[in-house]
Structure 1
């Protein structure tokens, strides 16, 4: 297929997606982080359908995806200078800003809160879709998966998760980041980190020239996407263990006759020298960016192999690994 034909096909798919969204249907689309499940923000029934499709609590807010920074103050009120500064630096990109919502954002999108999460995604298909929708439109879109489960990083993952529950999946290939956006709140006197993600907190601090507080210091906790204690979870039970004890735990489970998948980093590869027929080793990158790109797809692949247990080596206690630590902690939470 030549470039001209590919471009024409993409334009046709975008036009079809817009028509579906405008008619109140739900469309899955790619972003640089994970695939989103989109609804026209002006269509109440399409927004309600998102919660039904995902099995998501209605008080759990949806992130609003917009086409460009110039529309920020259409969707939010009283945007502080520091929020504009971050948007100018990181958008399009994996940064969500929590701000006081404008009257254009329905409470069904925000889970009943007077705040809204906004971002401009860094993916050509997502941006083309948003621009085709029009200036006063946006996509309310959580990740395109069942609530609490692994986020999808490919169109095939969306198909596996949601199948014929949605009207269309725009295929944009593999997501280049693979972890959800960093969420920063500006609903207090200082910016607060509500969720670590695709942009390191150190990069945000450098732009603002100030330290960013963590959400544990929030006096009035906001409901925030992706921050339930149990989230991002595979179907297979996941445990996180230190480098020192992970293989001991694997051997204990193996002695019980369980098939165990062991996720370790490349800089811990001495662990794979212990051979056991019940233990399957997965070697992950020692680079946190590459690890993040691989994480959800790896957990999904292990789910398909029907292991009894997945053991993940705890990441280093360093800022670059903060988002990985957050996802593994929530994915392994025992409900």
Structure 2
């Protein structure tokens, strides 16, 4: 298959492909999505085929208006309306009870559906022009770091999908928060993301968090819960939180013949960088938003460098740091 490379002036062509049951990668504010008509079973199955994604791993549908939501869920409880009023459009996915003509593969056979409205002008216009909700996981080979640039999509999926719609680098750099509202009295975060636990707690009061394991045999309600994700080819080690200990470990591994790629804050790079090491910055230590935005992009960059392993600085699991650490721990070969 030949993959077309489109820009923001070619939304009509991209929407035509989607209407015809093809798969198109497109930008959102989080990461690039791999979109297909969520009401077309054959189209949705092309997503799983292109990515090599497990069939019981559900997809998020993307809509362009709040009114569109009512077509695909049984009801919109008051708690959902509160979240929507604060965080839509934006990086917050809601799990609600489904209705309507959604393809079975989208929900993994469950009675629930994951829905969000992205905060990106290209994504919103594409959904509107297509006239259907778009099922869209991240536009990468399953298990690899999510794509934050069209070039990442090309590397993974060129020749496997109909088109890539280039909208430049994404902003947030990590996927959306997934919030389960099927029990309105127990709002539960299934996956941390661009909307933080603290932000949800501020408007909802008590918020719960799910802690699934890779050994869980039940069908996941949300992407990012069950399977190993976000991993480069090169092994990824998470450094200890103490800089002196991290420095000693890096020095020892280098003495043992390893070629080190480093991904740390500017504060740590000042202490760890050498001419022999490939170094990428996560930004300032006190700006975890920068670290989140740069994580997947930099993991892919380091994976292309001539290094034998990648060593990454941990951040505190507060605010967006919780989502950063969730992705990093899933990507890691070893946590020191």
Q: TM-score, normalised by structure 1?
A: 0.90
Q: Distance in 2 between matches of 1:332 and 1:217?
A: 17
Please tell me whether the aligned partners of residues 65 and 121 of structure 1 are also in contact (alpha carbons under 8 angstroms).
yes
Q: Which residue in the other structure is 1:6 paired with? A: none
Q: CA deviation at 1:221?
A: 7.2
Q: CA deviation at 1:123?
A: 0.6
Q: CA deviation at 1:72?
A: 1.4
- CA deviation profile, 1:242-261 (whole Å, cap 9, x unmatched): 13232222122212211011
Q: Which residue in the other structure is 2:328 paired with? A: 328
Q: CA deviation at 1:217?
A: 8.8
Q: 1:34 aligns with which of 31, 36, 45?
A: 31
Matched, 1:181 2:176: yes
Q: Which residue in the other structure is 1:305 paired with? A: 305
Q: 2:140 aligns with which of 115, 130, 145?
A: 145
Q: CA deviation at 1:225?
A: 0.6
- CA deviation profile, 1:221-240 (whole Å, cap 9, x unmatched): 73321223521111111011
Q: CA deviation at 1:316?
A: 2.1
Q: Distance in 1 between matches of 2:258 and 2:150?
A: 32
Q: Distance in 2 between matches of 1:197 and 1:217?
A: 16
Q: Which residue in the other structure is 1:242 paired with? A: 240
Q: Distance in 2 between matches of 1:43 and 1:86?
A: 29
Q: Distance in 2 between matches of 1:280 and 1:126?
A: 35
Q: Which residue in the other structure is 2:151 paired with? A: 156
- CA deviation profile, 1:163-191 (whole Å, cap 9, x unmatched): 12111111111101111001100123410
Q: Which residue in the other structure is 1:258 paired with? A: 258
> Which structure 2 segments of 5+ residues have no match?
1-6
Alignment root-mean-square deviation, CA: 2.0
SS at match of 1:281: strand
Q: Distance in 2 between matches of 1:317 and 1:38?
A: 31
Structure 1 or 2: more helix by fraction? 1
Q: Distance in 2 between matches of 1:257 and 1:216?
A: 37
Q: TM-score, normalised by structure 2?
A: 0.90
Matched, 1:167 2:158: no
Please tell me whether the aligned partners of residues 94 and 181 of structure 2 are also in contact (alpha carbons under 8 angstroms).
yes
Please tell me whether the aligned partners of residues 212 and 226 of structure 2 are also in contact (alpha carbons under 8 angstroms).
no
Q: Distance in 1 between matches of 2:42 and 2:233?
A: 30
Q: Distance in 2 between matches of 1:227 and 1:195?
A: 7
Q: Which residue in the other structure is 1:207 paired with? A: 203
Q: Which residue in the other structure is 2:3 paired with? A: none
SS at match of 1:223: coil
Q: Distance in 1 between matches of 2:255 and 2:50?
A: 40
Superposed, 1:79-90 pairs within 5 Å as 79-90=76-87
Q: Which runs of 4+ in 1 moved over 6 A?
A: 217-221
Please tell me whether the aligned partners of residues 153 and 178 of structure 1 are also in contact (alpha carbons under 8 angstroms).
yes
Please tell me whether the aligned partners of residues 235 and 333 of structure 2 are also in contact (alpha carbons under 8 angstroms).
no
Q: Which residue in the other structure is 1:105 paired with? A: 102
Please tell me whether the aligned partners of residues 107 and 114 of structure 1 are also in contact (alpha carbons under 8 angstroms).
no
Q: Which residue in the other structure is 1:315 paired with? A: 315
Superposed, 1:5-24 pairs within 5 Å as 10-11=8-9, 13-24=10-21
Q: CA deviation at 1:114?
A: 0.9
Please tell me whether the aligned partners of residues 230 and 333 of structure 1 are also in contact (alpha carbons under 8 angstroms).
no
Q: Cα distance 1:200–1:102, how it changes in 2: closer, same or farther (>3 A)?
A: same
SS at match of 1:64: strand
